[in-house]
């Protein structure tokens, strides 16, 4: 069964600094990978996704992520964060075994951007 690990429950960072949110997954079959952002009391908004092709994926709001199959990772990066990036970030995986139907989420990483 697949699992998703987000090792950092919280990442504090100063405004305009770079940030990396880590995501590792375990699966023996092909996967699709996603990053979602959740603002307080709201649903999830898709930041970016990897389905196939180039392993470097660019998303909205200046975020990007790189799929590394050998390390089974899909870390999220942004070169310069803003106060408005403060939110909860979830990494998610869907697997070939489920027809890529089901999403399994990591436990989330809270990004705290301070002035």
Partner 1 sequence: GAVVSQHPSRVICKSGTSVKIECRSLDFQATTMFWYRQFPKQSLMLMATSNEGSKATYEQGVEKDKFLINHASLTLSTLTVTSAHPEDSSFYICSARDSGTSEATQYFGPGTRLLVL
The β-bridge partners of 69 are none
* Region label for 47, one of left (φ > 0), alpha (ψ between -120 and 50) or beta (otherwise): alpha
3-state SS record for the chain? CCEEECCCCEEEEECCCCEEECCEEECCCCEEEEEEEECCCCCEEEEEEECCCCCEEECHHHCEEEEECCCCEEEEEECCCCHHHCEEEEEEEEEHHHCCCCCEECCCEEEEEEC
Q: How far is the CB of 18 from partner 1 (least distance, A)?
A: 25
Judged by CB under 8 A, does residue 32 bind partner 1? yes
Judged by CB under 8 A, does residue 52 bind partner 1? no
Judged by CB under 8 A, does residue 101 bind partner 1? yes
Judged by CB under 8 A, does residue 72 bind partner 1? no
Judged by CB under 8 A, does residue 105 bind partner 1? yes
Toward partner 1, which CB reaches closer, 80 or 107? 107
Among 35, 36, 67, 74, binds partner 1 (CB under 8 A): 36
Binding window for partner 1 (CB under 8 A); candidates: 16-24, 43-51, 57-65, 76-84: 43-51
Q: Please report, as ranges, the residues that interact with partner 1 according to CB under 8 A.
A: 32, 34, 36, 41-46, 49, 51, 90, 94, 100-108
């Amino acid at each position: 069964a697949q699992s998703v690990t987000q090792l950092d429950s919280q990442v504090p960072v100063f405004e305009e600094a770079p940030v990396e949110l880590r995501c590792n997954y375990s699966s023996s079959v092909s996967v699709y990978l996603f990053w979602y952002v959740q603002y307080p009391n709201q649903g999830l908004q898709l930041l970016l996704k990897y389905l196939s092709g180039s392993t470097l994926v660019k998303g909205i709001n200046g975020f990007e992520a790189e799929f590394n199959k050998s390390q089974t990772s899909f870390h999220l990066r942004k070169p310069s964060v803003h106060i408005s990036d403060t939110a909860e970030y979830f990494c998610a995986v869907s697997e070939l075994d489920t027809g890529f139907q089901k999403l399994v989420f990591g436990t989330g990483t809270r990004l705290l951007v301070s002035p």
